[in-house]
Amino acid sequence: MRLMKMMIIKVVAVVLMMVLLSGGVARGDVEVSVTLTGDIDEIMTILRQLQRMGIGSAQAAEPSDPLRLEMQSVSVGSLDEPASTNAPEVAEAESPRRPGLTNVRFEPSTLQAGEDVLVTVDVVDPFFQVDTIGMALEPPEGETLQMDLFDSGQRGDKVAGDGTWSRMFGISSDAPEGEYVFTITAYDANGQPVQAEGDEDDTTPLELKGTVSLTR
């Protein structure tokens, strides 16, 4: 293949030289564009062969030169295959993220009896299943506090529709000290817990549990 390409280049060069040196055509009237295709090794082999034949020069050509060669661009490839763009391969599209509850924050991080507290949680809801976020706050003793969180820009939520659900609420002044267990659960429009995939391809309610301390 390389030998054939070099033979073609030699023949073309000889013909061009004959045309340019003939008296019937003025040198300024002839302009030839040549496209080289192939891998970089083949292209460099052909360019070196042209150089050995005295076609083209690293220095500016003189007006009296019978043939001047300008290289405008080089495309790597073949006639049967599109030229490579060196673009990174596009990975297959990832599957949609699973629904999830993450990054629960209490402000302040330690609850204070008689003070207000802001709770927030980030909700991942790729299939738009979540309609309500509820939280149960269970004290060391006494009744469990139930409440809803919001993503409406109200009741402590800062930005509506950003996927961060929040609620500002007050702690009773006689609330007992100790560790409080919170359970945050996502519900659908029918009031049923949103189901998430478990570790063994089973489903489990989409909820998040943890503890937070309260002091006086």
Residues 6+ apart with CB under 8 A from 202: none
Best-predicted range by mean pLDDT (7-11, 31-35, 56-60) = 31-35
The DSSP letter of residue 149 is E
* 210/57: higher pLDDT: 210
**d(C-alpha 212, C-alpha 161), whole Å:** 26
State the pTM of this model: 0.55
The identity of residue 10, as a single letter, is K
Least confident range of 26-40, 72-86, 112-126, 191-205: 72-86
* pLDDT, tens digit (0-9, with 9 covering 90-100), for 163-206: 999 999 999 999 999 999 999 999 999 999 999 876 666 788 99
The H-assigned helical ranges of 85-172 are none
Q: Would you state the pLDDT for residue 50? A: 65
Q: Residue 197 has which token pair?
A: 């995939």
**d(C-alpha 60, C-alpha 66), whole Å:** 13
Best-predicted range by mean pLDDT (20-29, 93-102, 198-207) = 198-207
Q: Would you state the pLDDT for residue 56? A: 52
Q: Would you state the pLDDT for residue 203? A: 84
Least confident range of 41-50, 56-65, 124-133, 159-168: 56-65
Delimiting residues of CATH 2.60.40.1930 domain(s) in the chain = 100-215
* 3-class SS of residue 11: helix
Exposure letters 2-23 (e unless 16+ CB within 10 A, then b)? eeebbeebeeebeebeeebeee
- Write down the architecture of domain 100-215 according to CATH: Sandwich (2.60)
Q: Is pLDDT of 129 > 50?
A: yes
CB contact at 8 A, 129 and 187? no
Q: Is pLDDT of 104 > 90?
A: yes
Q: How confident is the prediction for the chain on average, in pLDDT? A: 75
* 135/51: higher pLDDT: 135
| Mean predicted confidence (pLDDT) in 127-140 | 96
Q: Is pLDDT of 6 > 50?
A: no
Q: Would you state the pLDDT for residue 12? A: 46
**d(C-alpha 99, C-alpha 207), whole Å:** 10
How many CB atoms lie under 10 A from the CB of residue 56?
15
Q: Would you state the pLDDT for residue 72? A: 46
Give Dmax over CA atoms of the chain in angstroms.
112
* pLDDT, tens digit (0-9, with 9 covering 90-100), for 76-93: 444 444 444 454 444 444
| Mean predicted confidence (pLDDT) in 30-39 | 60
Q: Is pLDDT of 59 > 90?
A: no
